[in-house]
């Protein structure tokens, strides 16, 4: 979806507001990685459009913490399929622009639901990957940790080389709690406040994803949504840009820099 003249007009207004901002929050979801070839959630490339796995489980049950504990081979089977389907994809221009903005502004943080690690690979530092990173593996018993480029060559389910117990991705599976340490970081940053909040490529169905947008809006701060579709926060944001993340952020950043 190309940017309309109305969207470009809004981007000019947002760029002007950015001139007076130093504290920025980006909230990102699967839509920001769409230009990298990664599909947005439901099904991960059509793998799970039927919602039922080969074993007869709903995909949410197969990818749950309980399944990882009780039948790790089943859980790992579908985690492996997701990773394989996305293998070879890399961060895109949207991730790069946010990283550039982090180096430009005094304080910029990213709250992402994505487990693809693209914000890290693009060079961003202040990242709260609230759902984890599929490339980081941890032992369920000891302190063993390992970061991998992909899952090729990994025995499924993998065992810890130190203690022999199950190794799993360091991600939040269905039915599991969010990591306390990351929630605490998010809370501290929200308490400091942000001048502007961007919601990019997320449906904002989770309270901890929509919450910062509501907090900013009712605190009199600027709110922006970049998403081709209507979402849970579309009706409250100050600026809604119905377009893709890479195209929109590329244009916004160009307008901002050319105004210097």
Can you give the pLDDT at residue 93?
A: 97
Using DSSP bridges, classify how beta strands 132-139 and 145-147 pair: parallel, antiparallel or unpaired: antiparallel
What confidence tier does 39 reach under pLDDT thresholds 50, 70, 90? low
Residue limits of CATH 3.40.50.1220 in the chain: 5-37+91-131+176-258
- Tens-place pLDDT, residues 132-183: 999 999 999 999 999 999 999 899 999 999 999 999 999 999 999 999 999 9
CATH superfamily, domain at 5-37+91-131+176-258:
TPP-binding domain (3.40.50.1220)
Q: How far apart are CA 182 and CA 151, in angstroms?
A: 25
Q: Mean pLDDT over all residues of the chain?
A: 93
Active site residue 119: no
Catalytic residue among 95, 119, 120, 131: 131
Whole-structure pTM value: 0.93
State what percent of residues in the chain have pLDDT above 90: 86
Close Cβ partners of 144 (under 8 Å, ≥ 6 residues apart): 138, 160, 161, 162, 163, 167
Can you give the pLDDT at residue 52?
A: 83
Nearest residue to 39 (alpha-carbon basis) of 89, 111, 95, 77: 89
pLDDT tops 70 at residue 235: yes
Q: What is the mean pLDDT of residues 115-125?
A: 96
What confidence tier does 44 reach under pLDDT thresholds 50, 70, 90? very low
Measure Cα distances from 119 to 98, 99, 126, 172 in Å.
8, 8, 9, 18
Query: Three-class SS of residue 54?
Result: coil
Q: What is the mean pLDDT of residues 101-121?
A: 97
For tokens 């909040």, the residue is 197
């Amino acid at each position: 979806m190309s940017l309309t003249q109305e969207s470009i007009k809004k981007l000019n207004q947002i760029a002007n507001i950015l001139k007076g901002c130093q504290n920025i929050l980006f909230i990102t979801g699967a839509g920001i990685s769409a230009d990298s070839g990664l599909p947005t959630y439901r099904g991960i490339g059509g793998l799970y459009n039927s919602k039922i796995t080969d074993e007869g489980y709903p995909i949410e049950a197969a990818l749950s913490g309980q399944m990882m504990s009780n039948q790790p081979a089943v859980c790992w089977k579908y985690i492996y399929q997701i990773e394989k389907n996305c293998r070879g994809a890399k961060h895109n221009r949207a991730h790069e622009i946010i990283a550039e903005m982090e180096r430009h502004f005094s304080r910029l943080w990213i709250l992402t639901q994505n487990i693809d690690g693209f914000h890290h690979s693009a060079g961003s530092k202040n990242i709260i990957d609230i759902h984890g990173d599929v490339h980081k593996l941890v032992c369920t018993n000891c302190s063993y940790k390992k970061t991998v480029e992909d899952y090729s060559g990994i025995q499924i389910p993998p065992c810890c080389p130190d203690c022999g117990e199950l190794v799993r991705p360091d991600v939040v599976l269905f039915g599991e709690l969010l990591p306390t340490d990351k929630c605490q970081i998010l809370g501290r940053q929200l308490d400091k406040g942000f001048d502007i909040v961007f919601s990019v490529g997320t449906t904002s169905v989770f309270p901890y994803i929509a919450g910062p947008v509501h907090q900013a809006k009712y605190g009199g701060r600027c709110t922006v949504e970049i998403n081709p579709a209507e979402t849970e926060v579309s009706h409250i944001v100050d600026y809604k840009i119905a377009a893709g993340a890479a195209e929109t952020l590329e244009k916004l950043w160009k307008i901002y820099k050319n105004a210097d």
